């Protein structure tokens, strides 16, 4: 059947072209409309090897590669992977699986390279990606704004103390010989001075990082998702995300079940599958026991930053 279709296509190509030349001249080809989020990259659109002929569309799937209209920009160990996997269940969301790290590590490769990483989307579908390190990258807000000032941004935040311990746990699984969490937390444990140069601590100062983003994006263009509520009420948080993205609320309670072993919700059916799906073994690791005095010192340290973050976002996340 495939060969018959190809034969008919090529047979028609020659004869149809002949008919066109014998008739009235074909009207000039209209320039393709600008895709939202690509206003600043028209030259890359023209240069990119993505023009879809009938044959390429047949073999590669229909749709167009577009720059993302929405990006999950943070934070590390906040629940970004879970959010992305949950969102991919929605038929109008197409997302890159791996983290592109374009706006922090690969910016010199250019927007054409970045767009080529994106999945093909149809009219009405949203292209997304997630790279949690964007939130703490000083250059990222200006770079994303340069791509498109209309980009919608999503930040998944979590109790900064729990987040720091989770961050340390991940590093410990890869480097078992690293110093203890307690020794890394302080510049001087005797004086109790917190070492804010340690990334595990620094990432959790959310208010400081958000100030940088608000220089380029209005607060209403950024959605703050609670990592805790993403576990306790995934459908509720996904409802807020779908509303923010302008999507119909398709992802609901019926899509989730709670995995008691892992301690977080899983999908009854993942994207493109009829089987249940939980995040991999790297998620839900058991945290090491941390000296409670150190935990309390960290809570005291983060409290003023948390209060400021609540004021900036208009949300009380209940961390204390």
What residues are annotated to the active site? Answer: 77
Q: For the chain, how long is the longest CA-to-CA vector?
A: 91
Contact criterion met (CB below 8 Å) for 204 and 161: yes
> Is 208 annotated to bind ligand?
no
> Is 21 annotated to bind ligand?
no
Q: Is 109 left (phi over 0), alpha (psi -120 to 50) or beta?
A: alpha
* Span between the terminal Cα atoms of the chain, in Å: 65
> Is 236 annotated to bind ligand?
no
Determine the 3-state secondary structure of 70 from DSSP: strand
> Is 284 annotated to bind ligand?
yes
> Is 145 annotated to bind ligand?
no
CB burial of residue 302 (10 Å; 0-12, 13-18, 19+): buried
The label of the residue with tokens 């398709």 reads 250
Close Cβ partners of 114 (under 8 Å, ≥ 6 residues apart): 67, 100, 102, 106
> Is 78 annotated to bind ligand?
yes
> Is 158 annotated to bind ligand?
yes
The label of the residue with tokens 């590590």 reads 105
Q: What is the dihedral of CA 111, 112, 115, 120, to 10 degrees?
A: 160
> Is 314 annotated to bind ligand?
no
> Is 287 annotated to bind ligand?
yes
**Backbone phi, psi, residue 151, to 5°:** -60, 130
* Rg value, the chain, Cα: 24
> Is 220 annotated to bind ligand?
no
> Is 286 annotated to bind ligand?
yes
Which residues sit in the known binding site? 77-81, 158, 166, 283-287
Which residues sit in the known binding site for 3'-phosphoadenylyl sulfate? 77-81, 158, 166, 283-287
């Amino acid at each position: 059947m495939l060969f018959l279709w190809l034969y008919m296509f090529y047979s028609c190509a020659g004869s149809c072209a002949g008919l066109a030349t014998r008739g009235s001249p074909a009207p000039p080809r209209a320039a393709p409309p600008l895709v939202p989020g690509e206003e600043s990259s028209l030259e890359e659109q023209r240069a990119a090897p993505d023009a879809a002929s009938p044959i390429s569309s047949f073999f590669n799937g229909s749709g167009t590669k577009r720059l993302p209209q929405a990006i999950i920009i943070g934070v590390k160990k906040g629940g970004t992977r879970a959010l992305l996997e949950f969102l991919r269940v929605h038929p109008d969301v197409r997302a890159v699986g791996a983290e592109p790290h374009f706006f922090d590590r690969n910016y010199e490769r250019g927007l054409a390279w970045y767009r080529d990483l994106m999945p093909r989307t149809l009219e009405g579908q949203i292209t997304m990606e997630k790279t949690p390190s964007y939130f703490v990258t000083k250059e990222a807000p200006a770079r994303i704004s340069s791509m498109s000032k209309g980009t919608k941004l999503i930040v998944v935040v979590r109790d900064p103390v729990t987040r720091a311990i989770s961050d340390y746990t991940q590093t410990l699984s890869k480097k078992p010989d690293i110093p203890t969490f307690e020794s890394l937390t302080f510049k001087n444990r005797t004086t109790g001075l917190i070492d804010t140069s340690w990334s595990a601590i620094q990432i959790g100062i959310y208010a400081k990082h958000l100030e940088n983003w608000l220089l380029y994006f209005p607060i209403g263009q950024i959605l703050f998702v609670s990592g805790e509520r993403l576990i306790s009420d995934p459908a509720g948080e996904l409802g807020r995300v779908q509303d923010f993205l302008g999507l119909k609320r398709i992802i609901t309670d019926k899509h989730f079940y709670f995995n008691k072993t892992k301690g977080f919700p899983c999908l009854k059916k993942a994207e493109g599958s009829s089987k249940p799906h939980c995040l991999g073994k790297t998620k839900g690791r058991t945290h090491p026991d941390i000296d409670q005095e150190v935990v309390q010192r960290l809570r005291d340290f983060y409290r003023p930053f948390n209060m400021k973050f609540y004021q900036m976002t208009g949300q009380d996340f209940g961390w204390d």
